[in-house]
Amino acid sequence: MASPLQPFGEKLPPVPRAGFAAGNEGGRGARAARYVHTQIGTSSHRVYRGKTHDWVVISRKRERAALVDKIVTSLEAVARDKEAKALAMCGRCFKKRRLPCGVCEVKPLACDHMLCPSCAAERAKPLQKRILARCLKSGKPLSFLTLTVPNVPELTDEVIRKMVKDFAKLRRTGVWTCKKRAEAFGSAVSGGVFSIESTWNSKMRSWHPHIHVLIEGPRKFTRDRLAELRAEWMRITGNAKYLKLLPLYRVSKRGKKITGRADRKALRELVKYVTKAADFAAEPALVDEFLKAFKNVRRVQAFGSFLGVFKEVEREQGDETEWFRCRHCGGEHLWRECKDEGIATLDEVEQLPDGTWQLRFDFVREMRESVPESPPPWELTPYEPQHVGQGEIEFAGEQPAERVEYPNLFEGVA
């Protein structure tokens, strides 16, 4: 029997327990939910709320946490304890800063480790913004090029540096610059951005280094030009034969594909900084090999007309003499007027719905902290009870010599 929806503020009579549907029962043997009126009271209800996108975020966080766990274990195994600790505490410690308007701001401290997925995403965001602004400014068509080299059993910094040098040689060739070429060959590549990556193939037990390149210039590569580009790459590297060229596209609001144009989504594949560490995170030797190979290597670089795009990002880190607009009071403050107030841990802060953090309001703790540690104005001396012996009791004053009998005042009264 179906129970009607409970109107607000009213009680309904209890519904008899509905049986399960015969056969193919669901709910893992769960009892039907119903409310009960008893002498103690009516059972209360519980409300569950959720959205599909919330679960996407939750599962993504879980995967990240599991990956960070594996990387931390691997780093500890190869005696990189400092890095392991920084990675484990990333986002769990907060820097407290008192602004001139009185607000205490908290910001999570980041580890900035190469393999940290959260820091990589934060590092990539300003770069993606800059590159997208630069792409939209010029309005020239864009393409996505992937250059690969044969897999290597051991990843070293020499492999990475050779790959970068070979790409620099490719940029000086005629197929790239279109020098002394017919007009039908197409326009030269004016500039672009490239990123260096290396993934681990667990089946073949080898590394796969490659370069992703965003190139600006030619609307379309002809078949002959593409074949020549492939031949040049083969000649420079000596053994690499695969490269892939795709026109970049973005999807308009109406769902239409517009080729030759970029958007944030398209740039995410190029500038993500995120290493696909899930493939090798559980093997400490591979993690160590990867970190040694990419030490002091700039993983994202610009060339040609895109030079200077990243310099503006480095300048935005926060100069002490610079003013910034406070998001709390709306006023402008100097960075040097802000005072550091130490570090806060995860149990002292709480996250707001917009993703920012604030100190948790703990009234009792703050009251205790604000009261000075001084004794009260009255001083209580400890009471020490005096123990009296049970033998003699001394009376004050003289004992009467004789017993005196006093008359009963109420004698004869009825």
Partner 1 sequence: MAEQIFRGRSGDASAPFIPSEWWERGKSIVFVVERVFRIEGRLNYGVRLLKPVELNGETVDEVSVGESAGFRMAMQAARCRELRENDQVILTCYGETPSKKPGNSPRKDFEIEITRQEVEDTIPEYAR
- Among 4, 7, 9, 13, the residue binding partner 1 under the rule CB under 8 A is 4
Total residues contacting partner 1 by CB under 8 A comes to 42
Alpha helices in 306-359 (DSSP H): 311-315
Part of the chain binding partner 1 (CB under 8 A), chosen from 45-53, 139-147, 234-242, 271-279: 45-53
Q: Provide the mask over 54-93, with x wherever binding to partner 1 is found by CB under 8 A and - wherever it is not.
A: xxx-x-----------------------------------
353 binds partner 1 (CB under 8 A): no
DSSP state at residue 111: -
Burial 346-366 (b: 16+ CB within 10 A, else e): eeebeeeeeeebebeeeeeee
> Is the Cβ of residue 40 or residue 367 nearer to partner 1 in the bound state?
40
CB of 45 to partner 1, least distance (A): 5
Q: Whose Cβ is closer to partner 1: residue 41's or residue 102's? A: 41
Stretch that binds partner 1, among 40-48, 100-108, 238-246, 307-315 (CB under 8 A): 40-48
Q: Which stretch binds partner 1 (CB under 8 A): 44-52, 86-94, 173-181, 241-249?
A: 44-52
CA nearest 344: which of 154, 92, 119?
92
Place of tokens 């059972």: 43
Segment contacting partner 1 (CB under 8 A): 2-10, 182-190, 268-276, 341-349? 2-10
Q: Would you count residue 413 as binding partner 1 (CB under 8 A)?
A: no
* Position among 7, 9, 50, 412 found at the interface with partner 1 (CB under 8 A): 50
- Segment interacting with partner 1 (CB under 8 A) among 53-61, 192-200, 234-242, 399-407: 53-61
Least Å from the CB of residue 65 to partner 1: 17
Alpha-carbon 363 to chain mean position: 29
- Which one, of 218, 157, 154, lies nearest residue 191 by Cα? 218
Q: Which residues pair with 97 in a beta bridge?
A: 105, 340
Per CB under 8 A, 40 contacts partner 1: yes
Residues 94 and 344: their CA atoms lie apart, in Å, by: 5
Q: Which residues fall within 8 angstroms of residue 270, CB to CB, at 6 or more apart?
A: 131, 144, 193, 195, 212, 214
146 phi/psi in degrees, rounded to 5: -120, 120
Which residues between 273 and 312 bind partner 1 (CB under 8 A)?
none
If one counts every other C-beta atom within 10 angstroms of the C-beta of residue 408, the result is 8
What are 405's two structure tokens? 């009998």
Is there binding between residue 30 and partner 1 (CB under 8 A)?
A: yes
Q: Which of residues 162-221 bind partner 1 (CB under 8 A)?
A: none
Residue 399, interface with partner 1 (CB under 8 A)? Answer: no
Task: Please give the distance of CA 125 from its chain centroid, rounded to a whole number.
Answer: 12
CA 344 to chain centre: 17
Among 7, 9, 13, 27, binds partner 1 (CB under 8 A): 27
The answer to whether 256 contacts partner 1 (rule: CB under 8 A) is no
C-alpha span between 2 and 19 (Å, rounded): 11
Least separation in angstroms between CB 291 and partner 1: 31
**In the complex, least distance from residue 255 CB atom to partner 1, rounded to whole angstroms:** 9
Which candidate, 110, 124, 101, 93, places its Cα nearest to that of 324? 101
Residue position matching structure tokens 């709320």: 49
Strands of 80-161, DSSP E: 93-98, 104-108, 142-148
CB 350 to partner 1: min, Å: 19
Binding of partner 1 by 414 (CB under 8 A) = no
Return the range that interacts with partner 1 (CB under 8 A); candidates 32-40, 162-170, 358-366, 382-390. Answer: 32-40
The whole-angstrom separation of Cα 330 and Cα 327 is 5
* Interacting span for partner 1 (CB under 8 A) from 4-12, 165-173, 237-245, 366-374: 4-12
51 binds partner 1 (CB under 8 A): yes
Interaction between residue 355 and partner 1 (CB under 8 A): no
Q: Angle between the 52-77 and 117-138 helix axes, to the nearest 10 degrees?
A: 120
Residues that bind partner 1 (CB under 8 A): 2-6, 15, 18, 20-28, 30-36, 38-41, 43-56, 58
